[in-house]
Structure 1
């Protein structure tokens, strides 16, 4: 089992949105960064995923979800009315991926970015590097345990 972190503004998709969703499942779509897309393509059913809230009052890790459907062509790329539409993408040659994620648990409190940055065990974690803007990134088992220990 691999571990991942996905970032989203809570106004776009929050851990609470997973709780409210039918079957507590949400397609993670709209990712338009090639490296993040490549990471999504590596996600497998059963992988654990941290949901990270960004650009909000309480920035940090808010909960845990699981991959319940591995990478498939992101349908928003084909929808001309979607903000994620990509006119260069076709059903025969899709450029973007989506995965389905399902709620597992909400953390008792958001683990703040500042707390994550201050943890020596996480000094090499990509999230704490200046300018790191990927919305999907791998998390090692050691990093996963270190982050959860902060909560």
Structure 2
């Protein structure tokens, strides 16, 4: 999930917030230095026969919330403000969300979703610029995402680097997306099985090309 916004090298990357559904989301504050590449002992990122996805939705908290004295806030404007508009998406502590990140390929696009805020929804588009590698925050005792059960010779958690691409032409609120989801469930439209509603607790979610393209088309439409 998104990094936290701390003075250290990558705060968007460090923050662990809660998704709209209550799932812990990471904070991707790409100010931290990248950790070492994923080692041989890391678990496989996918289960046998798992479908490969090429588009994603990733949640982060744009409003201040403190954990252990650290502000885990990280919105799309924070990503945009980082050097090269690039940050690591660290702090993900859900196995399924982690596995999705391990499937990500350089160059793939993801929606930056504002979560756990007054008006959750899709704020912009970012690109995966570095594929899955070890999330160093799991070993940092001062980090809110520290995991005492994870060992350097067998790390549990991974992260990717993302780069800001652009803001949506208009913010797409969760409430509007839900209306389309309900309509499409009845009519068989593109968002009928969207993970935002079928697997809502996940902070990192796969999107089909059809779902991604339909959502992009909404920015040129009047709000539903």
TM-score range, shorter chain: over 0.9
**Residue 23 of structure 1, CA deviation:** 0.8
Could you list the per-position Cα deviations for residues 84-119 of structure 1 after superposition, in whole angstroms to 9, with x for gaps in the alignment? 001111111000001000000011221011111111
Match of 2:193 in 1: 124
Which whole-Å CA distance do the structure 1 matches of 2:61 and 2:170 have between them? Answer: 17
For the pair shown, the structure with the greater C-alpha radius of gyration is 2
Could you list the per-position Cα deviations for residues 106-148 of structure 1 after superposition, in whole angstroms to 9, with x for gaps in the alignment? 112210111111112312101023x721000110000001111
Deviates more, 1:30-39 or 1:117-126: 117-126
Written as runs of structure 1 = structure 2, the 5 A alignment for 1:60-75 is 60-75=121-136
Superposition TM-score, scaled by structure 2 size? 0.65
Which whole-Å CA distance do the structure 2 matches of 1:128 and 1:146 have between them? Answer: 16
2:77 match: secondary structure = helix
**Residue 149 of structure 1, CA deviation:** 1.5
Which whole-Å CA distance do the structure 1 matches of 2:203 and 2:197 have between them? Answer: 13
Please say if residues 116 and 128 of structure 1, whose CA atoms lie closer than 8 Å, have aligned partners that are also in contact: no
Match of 1:144 in 2: 212
Superposition TM-score, scaled by structure 1 size? 0.95
Please say if residues 6 and 137 of structure 1, whose CA atoms lie closer than 8 Å, have aligned partners that are also in contact: yes
Please say if residues 58 and 112 of structure 1, whose CA atoms lie closer than 8 Å, have aligned partners that are also in contact: yes
Which whole-Å CA distance do the structure 2 matches of 1:126 and 1:53 have between them? Answer: 16
1:7 match: secondary structure = strand
Cα-Cα RMSD: 1.3
Q: Which of 42, 52, 55 lines up with 2:116 in the alignment? A: 55
Match of 2:172 in 1: 111
Written as runs of structure 1 = structure 2, the 5 A alignment for 1:74-93 is 74-93=135-154
Q: Which has the higher contact order (CA 8 A, sep 6+)?
A: 1
Match of 1:3 in 2: 55
Give the strand-richer structure, 1 or 2: 1
Q: Which of 11, 14, 21 lines up with 2:82 in the alignment? A: 21
Figure out how many residues of one structure are paired with residues of the other and give that number: 150
Point out where structure 1 has 5 or more consecutive residues left out of the alignment. none
Which whole-Å CA distance do the structure 1 matches of 2:115 and 2:194 have between them? Answer: 16
